[in-house]
Amino acid sequence: MSYTLYEYSRSRSARVRWTLLELDLPFESVEGRKLIHSEELKQFSPLGKLPALITEEGPLYESAAICTFLADRHGDKDFIPKAGTYQRGLHEQWMSFTLCELETHLWSTARNIFVYDEADRITAIFPQNAAEAKKSLTVFEEQLGKTEFLLGDRFQVTDIIAAFALNWARMMELTGESPNVIAYLDRLSARPHYSLAEK
pLDDT at residue 39, as a whole number: 98
Instruction: Please compute the mean of the pLDDT values over residues 147-171 and round it to a whole number.
Output: 98
pLDDT at residue 48, as a whole number: 98
Are residues 93 and 72 both part of a single domain?
A: no
Last residue in a domain, options 52, 77, 102: 77
Instruction: Please compute the mean of the pLDDT values over residues 93-110 and round it to a whole number.
Output: 98
Instruction: Please compute the mean of the pLDDT values over residues 107-135 and round it to a whole number.
Output: 97
Are residues 98 and 184 both part of a single domain?
A: yes
For the chain, the average pLDDT equals: 97
pLDDT at residue 78, as a whole number: 96
- Concatenated DSSP letters of the chain: ---EEEE-TTSTHHHHHHHHHHTT---EEEE-GGGTT-HHHHTTSTT--S-EEE-SS-EE--HHHHHHHHHHHTGGG--SPPTTSHHHHHHHHHHHHIIIIIIHHHHHHHIIIIIS-GGG--GGGHHHHHHHHHHHHHHHHHHHTT-SBTTBSS--HHHHHHHHHHHHHHHTT--TT-HHHHHHHHHHHTSTT------
Instruction: Please compute the mean of the pLDDT values over residues 155-176 and round it to a whole number.
Output: 98
| 197 located within any domain | no
Q: What is the pLDDT of residues 52-73, one digit of tens each?
A: 999 999 999 999 999 999 999 9
CATH of the domain at 16: 3.40.30.10
pLDDT at residue 198, as a whole number: 82
Instruction: Please compute the mean of the pLDDT values over residues 6-32 and round it to a whole number.
Output: 97
Q: What is the pLDDT of residues 74-94, one digit of tens each?
A: 999 999 999 999 999 999 999
pLDDT at 180 over 80: yes
Instruction: Please compute the mean of the pLDDT values over residues 146-166 and round it to a whole number.
Output: 98
CATH of the domain at 149: 1.20.1050.10
Last residue in a domain, options 77, 101, 133: 77
Q: Residue 125 — very low, low, confident or very high, per pLDDT cuts 50/70/90? A: very high
Q: Note the maximum CA span of the chain.
A: 51
pLDDT at residue 85, as a whole number: 98
Domain that holds residue 62: 4-77
Are residues 92 and 69 both part of a single domain?
A: no
Q: Is the CB of residue 105 less than 8 Å from the CB of residue 136?
A: yes
The total domain count for the chain is 2
pLDDT at residue 55, as a whole number: 98
The share of the chain scoring above pLDDT 70, in percent, equals 100
Are residues 110 and 57 both part of a single domain?
A: no
Are residues 157 and 117 both part of a single domain?
A: yes
pLDDT at residue 108, as a whole number: 98
pLDDT at 199 over 80: no
